[in-house]
Structure 1
């Protein structure tokens, strides 16, 4: 198992669009990927579960990965969570 910590960098936090990117990125991963913070824990298979964590800019989250290519998978998730997304306003 690989464990990482990440600080949410996006100014709008992890809202619907970044959550959808995360779910798509790890869809079909042959193992377990979990994100947790003070609001709970969830895997990365559901946008709604990710939204339930209320990950705002500056929040720290813990990542746990079990399965194939654990280190690379954990590092990729850290990269996504620490990305400054440039989505146009709705």
Structure 2
């Protein structure tokens, strides 16, 4: 199992478009992918769960990934967050 913490830098946090991108990306992997904020943990594979976290700019998130492709999944999630979901340069 891999676990990594991130600070969301998108100006609008994880609104509908970046939440959808995260869910679509997570669903490409066989591993279980969970995201946690303020003690609430949801599957990153469901857009409703991700939106329910109310992630704003500066929010701290923890990702927990477990499964056969966990390393590739964590690398992809890390790149997605570092790239701000393509929202801004």
TM-score, normalized by the shorter chain, greater than 0.5: yes
TM-score computed with the length of structure 1 as normaliser: 0.84
Greater than 6 Å deviation, 4+ residue runs:
none
Aligned pairs, number? 87
Is residue 7–residue 82 contact of structure 1 (8 Å, CA) maintained in 2? Answer: no
Deviation at 1:28, TM superposition (A): 4.5
- The unaligned stretches of length 5 or more in structure 1 are none
In structure 1, how many angstroms separate the alpha carbons of the residues matched to 2:24 and 2:3?
Answer: 21
- Report the alpha carbon displacement of residue 54 of structure 1 after superposing the two structures with TM: 0.9
**Which residue number in structure 2 is paired with residue 43 of structure 1?**
43
1:74–1:64 CA distance, 2 compared to 1 (3 A): same
**Which structure has greater helix proportion?**
2
CA-based RMSD of the aligned residues comes to 1.7
Deviations 1:36-87 (A, max 9, x none): 0105110112111001111111111111100122122112212223333337
Structure 2: 5+ residue stretches without partners: none
Aligned counterpart, 1:5: 5
**TM-score of the pair, normalised by structure 2:** 0.85
CA distance in 2, matches of 1:9, 1:2: 22
